[in-house]
Amino acid sequence: MVAVETYQTVAEAAAGLGEGARYLGGGTIVMRQVNYGDQGFHRIVRAARPERGIGNDVQGLRIGAGTTMADILAHAELSFLHPVAGQIGGPAIRNMATVGGNLFAENPYGDMAAALLALDAQVIMAGGQTHPMERFLADRKHMRGLVEAVSLQRPQPGAFYYRKVSRVKPKGVAVITLAALIRGGEPRVVFGNMAAAPMRAHAAERALGGGVSEASIAAACAVCTEGLSPTDDALASAWYRAEVAPVHLRRMLESGGHS
């Protein structure tokens, strides 16, 4: 039997966490674990008033951890994230899946986490601590506390690129997720499902440092899998992922960015 404890705020729920507890946001991760008989926890903690919605802070846009994919699709100000949210599951999943939960989704999920890493987002914890997305994703299994929101700057029109490679259309899980932010001389290129968590492809970033051109795209594709470590699963082998990653990186960059 799994006990459920409800607190008013995320900060109070964070204080109520402990050994054998999981936080329930939208439920797309935790309830699957419950249904499959996961014995790793015996308590579920939830917040009656999680931060949900889009606002502004000193970094730019602030997206509450309780914001769902459907919420993102309803906000014109987040149009650059519509291609990401719109390809996460079907309507029922998008109505439940939250931004905060997606940061902890393991392969082959976590498409929004890959996009937010490319966008150089910051993770804001209940209590006020802030972590760069790259550090958070690398250490997420050891993070303590609860995510309250993420913060990011809105990209310039056409600067954000995204592509999801799936065997099932329109709502299949990703074989590979790709995202990039091309701004000035500091591009960010991210692959999902090419390591245990979404990772930046630093070699590809260096190749794109001068901007997107036919030559720089070719150079980036030639080195894009350096430092990544894809694995085998039911969707694809590590070999297949490494082979098709340059193909889809080229297609993403040649297709142009999102507004």
- Long-range CB pairs of 234-240, under 8 A, 24+ apart, other chains included: 235/108, 235/167, 235/173, 235/175, 236/175, 240/175
Residue-level pLDDT at 28: 87
Count: domains in the chain: 3
What's the pLDDT at 239? 97
How sure is the predictor about 94, in pLDDT bands with cuts at 50, 70 and 90?
A: very high
Interval 81-105 mean pLDDT: 95
Q: What is the pLDDT of residue 123?
A: 97
Boundary-marking domain end, from 128, 152, 176: 152
Rg (the chain; Cα; Å)? 18
Q: Coil, strand, or helix at residue 217?
A: helix
Whether this prediction's pTM lies above 0.85 is answered by yes
The mean pLDDT of 199-225, rounded to a whole number, is 96
3-state DSSP assignment of residue 140: helix
Q: What integer pLDDT is reported at residue 8 of this predicted model?
A: 94
Q: Are residues 191 and 238 in the same domain?
A: yes
Q: Can you tell me whether residue 247 is helix, strand or coil?
A: helix
Give pLDDT tens digits for 133-181: 999 999 998 888 899 999 999 999 999 999 999 998 877 899 999 999 9
Q: Are 62 and 136 contained in the same domain?
A: yes
**Same structural domain for residues 140 and 164?**
no
> What residue spans of 30-146 are helical by DSSP H?
30-35, 69-74, 82-85, 91-96, 99-102, 111-118, 133-139
Tokens of 46: 């939830």
Q: Could you give the CA distance from residue 167 to residue 148 in angstroms, rounded to a whole number?
A: 33
Looking at the structure, do residues 190 and 249 belong to the same domain, yes or no?
yes
Sheet holding 199-200, edge to edge: 160-166, 174-181, 188-192, 199-200
Residues 98 and 147 in one domain: yes
The residue count for the chain: 259
Average pLDDT value over all residues in the chain:
93
- How high is the pLDDT of residue 210? 85
Same domain, yes or no: 178 and 209: yes
Domain housing 43? 3-47
Q: What is the DSSP letter of 208?
A: T
State the Cα–Cα distance between residues 207 and 212, nearest whole angstrom.
9
Shared domain for 111 and 168, answered yes or no, is no
Instruction: Specify the CATH number for the domain of residue 189.
Output: 3.30.390.50
| Residue 182 sits in the same domain as residue 132 | no
Q: What pLDDT sits at residue 37?
A: 81
Predicted local distance difference test score (pLDDT) of residue 258: 86
More confident residue, 31 or 70: 70
Decide if 188 contacts 201 (C-beta within 8 A): no
Secondary structure, 3-state, 85-104? HCCCCCHHHHHHCEHHHHCC
